[in-house]
Structure 1
Amino acid sequence: MEKEKKLSKNETIKQESHFLRGTIAEALQEDSTHFSEENIQVLKFHGMYQQDDRDLRRQLTKEGKERAYSMMIRARIPGGILSAEQYLQFDKLSEQYGNETMRITTRQTFQLHGILKKNIKATLKSINDVLITTLGGCGDQVRNIVTCAAPHEGPFYDSVRKDLLAVVDATSAKTNAYHEIWLDGEKVNLAEGETEEPLYGETYLPRKFKIAFGYEGDNCADIFSNDIAITAHRAGDEVAGYTLAIGGGMGRTASDKNTRPFLAKPFCFVEPSKLTEVCKTVIGIQRDFGNRENRKFARMKYLVADRGIEWFREEAAKRLGYELDPPRDIDWTSSHDHLGRLEGEAGKVHLGLFIENGRIHDTETMKLKSVLREIMVAYQPTVRLTTQQNLILCNLTEQQASEVEQLLRDAGVKLADEYRPILLESMACPSMPTCGLGIAESERALPTIIREFEAALVKLGLQDDGIIIRMTGCANGCARPYIAEIGFVGRVLGKYDVFLGANVAGTRMNQLFKEMVPAQELVSTLYPILEAYRDERRAGESFGDYCVRVGLDQLQERLVTVS
């Protein structure tokens, strides 16, 4: 007799949540600063995480006080496109209820930090007032669907956008719980046999699920780090179809060597009319076969790795009633973000702004948040958030673009062409003090470290090389460090594992090079490798390609020789 499988605690919580209601409504009436563990898990589906200020933990504990609790609220903004009005609403809420900053995420959306429990409902209502939701921002469901942020125009791009929104609609949670709890919506009475979640069921997915769209040749969105990577193929002004790859994901658990990041594997080619049903079918397979016992292995990447692509195709064909066409070959020519002055149609100008680590705030020397607010009010640009945590101001006239550039300079904000490439290519996750999973610093550490690397590259004459460096405060990999030419992953407080050798196109992962390197030694550790790269690289060879060609073992020997 087969031993009954024991579901993880989260599965039981989801099953008993009554389609994401839990006891959230009741908890909101309580005079407390935080939620129960069960409600914390359910609240993720509503687009929020409970956090506390970890800088204050020790002192508060010493004083016998509770933690400084607050919520991080994450919106769902498909493809990262907002109006100026919508942008200004987030700006207002960050000042009114948050910590006066806005964070652009690697999934083209905004996070607001520091929202107190008593202000959640008002915050969510205000976000929904400008036709944006937070449902789907987090949780075991399809997260915000991302795409290339370049402000392309024309029938081809309009069609891709239409197909993206169709997938968003088809894969969004249908429960009425969100509207009942946060927007005072009427409770829904279902007819017999109906369910609130025809795709997800009462336990939703085993883990989070990520989908990304890209245009053939341009991998600025790092689409292969997603559960489903969708590449649009062009035929004149029409979409010829989409190549799908499946099974990507960045997360791992540092203490478990059986966990690791994956890039999505080529799966099939579909006509536009079949895209949504094929995506839903892939999601359904993960729903039915994904690991619900151990959350460390619950992402679809492990199902794909265990069962194989052929099994997945067979299972999909069985459900669809037809065979899937083989995937098309794709050439990638760029993965750089769309920064600087971008020329549009009919004289339009777009400005891609570098937002260091995605944090929009004011400092003594740079009034970024204030000047962006001024620009939104005065010029009403369309805003596009990028998956590399940057921002594009769209649809300006030539004169307006010049005026905006001057406003930015006057506010102490550098334009993209005033930064060296190494900064433009860098990313860090938030980590301390808000993220409960952070082990080491990331967003607060990388600005200093990246400038130390910049100085080293200048010394070596490599200042024009856009080496991709990314840092995370833990192994979960939110800033996608495993597909950076140099990845720093927090291992313990103040120390990082160093990964080398991903390619610029985002189609090859890096490898572990050195463990437990102190933050203050990251530059000195890699300096001899950078020096060797300068002396030995071939024409046009990137740093990641150089590392792979020479081999990490050979590079390790150089470190020993130097030391």
Structure 2
Amino acid sequence: MSHDDLPLAEQIKRESRYLRGTLRDSLADHATGALRDEDTHLSKFHGLYQQDDRELREERRQQKLEPHFQFMLRLRLPGGVLTPDQWLGLDEVADRFADGSLRLTTRQTFQFHRVFKENLQPLIQDLDSLGLDSRGACGDVNRNVVTNVNPHLSANHARVYDHAVQISERLMWRSRAYEETWLNEAPKTREGEEEEPFYTYRYLPRKFKVAIALPPHNDCDVLANDIGLIAIEAHGDIIGYNIAVGGGMGMTYGETGTYPRLASPVGFVPADQVVDACEAIAAIQRDHGCRTDRAHARFKYTLDDYGLDWFKDRFAEVHGTPLEPLRDYTLKDSGDQFGWTEDDLGRHHLTLFIPSGRIRDFEQLKLRTALRSIAQIHSGEFRITCNQNLIIAGVSEQEKSAIQKLVEHYGLDDGSNSSPLARNAISCVAFPTCGLAMAESERYLPELSQKVHQLMSEAGIGDEVIQLRVSGCPNGCARPYLGEIALTGKAPGKYNLYLGADTGGNRLNRLYRENIDEAQILADLKPLFERFARERDADEGFGDFLYRSGIIRPYSGPEDFHQPLIARG
């Protein structure tokens, strides 16, 4: 295929001069709040998404004004770990250049919203002064590497975190475009060096994600990623990783060739080979992934096109060593453990419930002020979880009482004032800024979870932990297809209802009913809760019950994912 026959996204990458494009000219154009069209694609590689306030579109159109353009900026923060000084720096940035809030994402990092074009450069320069960046947080490259954050296992968490950082650094794009565009650094001639020795001028066909889990905990939903690394422990150490490949949550309504997929476990590598192994796998996708159809360009489709035996052969060829046989493991839970815990080194950790990951000062809860106060006296770390919650980590015995006093003063209890359902729920941002949103998500979740919990309480299961995921569209930001109950937006007030994932992240749910409103959602859930309360086995989760009872049938193939179990009517 000739260069001119490639999709526009591929042409833009190849002609971008290694992601420089005309970004500097776009930033200097004060006549518009937007970037040039081609630069909006390139800006994603730099961690930015151009958005506008959808609730102001019609008003501004009538006023003959351009949309209210603004940007979302996402950090590259492997493992979700940062220092108290970095926290305080980000807290200050939120006021100076964004909407005054910090948002914790399901990729274990921060997003800043409502950043205007003129504030992008100073924001990124402040991030650089904090030792942070947004390089590769979006775009057709490896994204933020996420990890398990179970605070009980700090020694092995440290090893996993080190591997996350190493993988992130190895798979980070190298071009000087970031420094030249945002930090005003002069171009440097590096004789004999390639600008992008790994990615080349083509980069990857689509985004690429890596996650690491420490069994039996799976709070990062490891199998939802292009590469899932499952740590294998022996004698108190991590001896290596089982590798699973081809996970991904995104799909498109009505296009049966698109579907979510769990990563397939394919083999084991020793710990000292894991970074090289990830590079080899990303290289296979770089060289063999589809570049003619972006809807078919994720690694999961490459694997389904060529097969796992083909992948294992390619891995042995690129890596130089074949995969070893899989080691035994079990993934049992994917939730967070709230409240205080003590790790195997005697340090304390406090996991706080952060509804939808949104950190700001609310009328009844001065959450942002409280966390700023904690950061001012804390000497350990902050750890973001993939469930949009926050761990005050590495607290000494001496600090614990002072932090607990702040927790009590600001009402930051362990979530006991909210239901188990709400504490384990995940949502995406959706309206008003996400251009893909079809229905509400973050703003709707509190109301929805309250009504669903009321049904559960009436059925006598109000204390049960059931995973609820809500997404404003069919894409996977809230990992909806791994929820025991999940909604994906179809239109304002209308959702698809999915049921039946398990609590360990080992099974996708199924489409139960499509394009229904809240009344129908609650009407469908009520008898299922009542039957679950009567017929469940001891310690059986809601999703497992739905499968065992035959309410949810197993998939026979990807084509099933678009077929509702209950027809409309």
TM range (shorter): over 0.9
Q: Distance in 2 between matches of 1:314 and 1:345?
A: 40
Deviations 1:156-208 (CA, angstroms, capped at 9, x unpaired): 4433333222211211111111011111223121325x321111110100000
Q: 1:413 to 1:321 in 2, by over 3 A?
A: closer
Residue 163 of structure 2 corresponds to residue 163 of structure 1: yes
- Distance in structure 2 (CA, Å) of the matches to 1:344 and 1:557: 45
Match of residue 299 from structure 1? 298
Structure 1: runs of 5 or more not aligned = none
User: What is aligned with 1:113?
Assistant: 113
SS in 2 for 1:435: coil
Q: In the TM superposition, what are the counterparts of 1:357-396 in structure 2 within 5 Å?
A: 357-396=356-395
Match of 1:428 in 2: 427
Match of 2:261 in 1: 262
What amino acid sits opposite 1:457 in the alignment? M
Secondary structure of the structure 1 residue equivalent to 2:341? strand
Letter in 2 for 1:61: R
Alpha carbons 1:485, 1:544 under 8 Å: kept: yes
How many residues are paired up? 559
Question: Which range moved further: 315-324 or 170-179?
Answer: 315-324
For residues 59 and 524 of structure 2, the distance between their equivalents in structure 1, rounded to whole angstroms, comes to 35
- Rounded to whole Å, the distance in 1 between the matches of 2:433 and 2:102 is 13
Residues in 1 aligned to 2:566 and 2:511: alpha-carbon distance in whole angstroms: 15
State the shift of 1:104 in Å.
0.3
Q: After the TM superposition, which residues 68-467 of structure 1 pair with which residues of structure 2 at under 5 Å, given as runs?
A: 68-152=68-152, 155-192=155-192, 194-345=193-344, 347-398=346-397, 400-467=399-466
Contact 2:513–2:565 (CA under 8 A) maintained in structure 1: no
Question: Quick one: distance in 1 between partners of 2:50 and 2:341?
Answer: 39
* Contact kept? 1:91, 1:102, Cα under 8 Å: yes
The structure-2 alpha-carbon separation of the partners of 1:156 and 1:3, relative to structure 1 and needing over 3 Å to count, comes to closer
Compute the displacement of 1:111 (Å). 0.1
Q: Report the counterpart of residue 560 of structure 2 in structure 1.
A: none
Tell me the SS of whatever aligns to 2:168. helix
Asked if 2 retains the 8 angstrom alpha-carbon contact of 1:247 and 1:301, the reply is yes
Q: Over residues 275-316 of structure 1, what are the superposed CA-to-partner deviations in whole Å (9 max), with x where a residue is unaligned?
A: 122111111110111111111111001111121111000111
CA distance in 1, matches of 2:201, 2:521: 47
State the one-letter code of the partner of 2:303. Answer: V
Q: For residue 525 of structure 1, what is the aligned residue in structure 2?
A: 524
Percent of pairs with identical residues: 37
SS in 2 for 1:60: helix
- Please tell me whether the aligned partners of residues 3 and 11 of structure 2 are also in contact (alpha carbons under 8 angstroms): no
Q: 1:274, 1:344 → 2: CA distance? A: 28
SS in 2 for 1:56: helix
**SS of alignment partner, residue 286 of structure 2:** helix
Q: Helix, strand or coil: the match of 2:228?
A: strand
Residue in 2 that maps onto 1:55: 55
Q: TM-score by structure 1 length?
A: 0.95
Determine whether 1:469 maps to 2:462: no
Q: CA deviation at 1:405?
A: 3.4
CA distance, structure 1, for counterparts of residue 5 and residue 497 of structure 2: 36
Q: Hey, what does 1:548 align to over in structure 2?
A: 547
Q: Which runs of 5+ in 2 are unaligned?
A: 555-562
Structure 2 CA distance for aligned equivalents of residues 54 and 3 of structure 1: 38
User: How far apart are the structure 2 equivalents of 1:554 and 1:113?
Assistant: 40
| Offset of residue 551 of structure 1 | 2.4
Alpha-carbon distance between aligned partners in 2 of 1:5 and 1:17, rounded to the nearest angstrom: 15
Indicate conservation of the 8 Å contact 2:290/2:297, yes or no.
Answer: yes
> Offset of 1:331 from its aligned partner?
1.3
Asked if 2 retains the 8 angstrom alpha-carbon contact of 1:409 and 1:415, the reply is: no
Question: 2:509 maps to what in 1?
Answer: 510
Which whole-Å CA distance do the structure 1 matches of 2:403 and 2:296 have between them?
48
User: Structure 2 CA distance, aligned partners of 1:154 and 1:525?
Assistant: 42
Greater CA deviation, 27-36 or 320-329? 320-329
Report the Cα distance in structure 1 between the residues aligned to 2:188 and 2:396, rounded to whole angstroms.
48
Distance in 2 between the 1:18 and 1:270 partners?
A: 36
Read off the aligned partner of 1:182 and give its amino acid letter.
Answer: W
Q: Deviations over 1:506-560 (max 9, x none)?
A: 0100000000111344222211111111112122211101111222369999989
CA distance in 2, matches of 1:153, 1:495: 42
Relative to structure 1, the CA distance from residue 440 to residue 327 in structure 2 (aligned partners, 3 Å threshold; closer, same or farther) is same
| TM-score, scaled relative to structure 2 | 0.94
Counterparts of 2:431 and 2:519 in 1: how far apart (Å)?
18
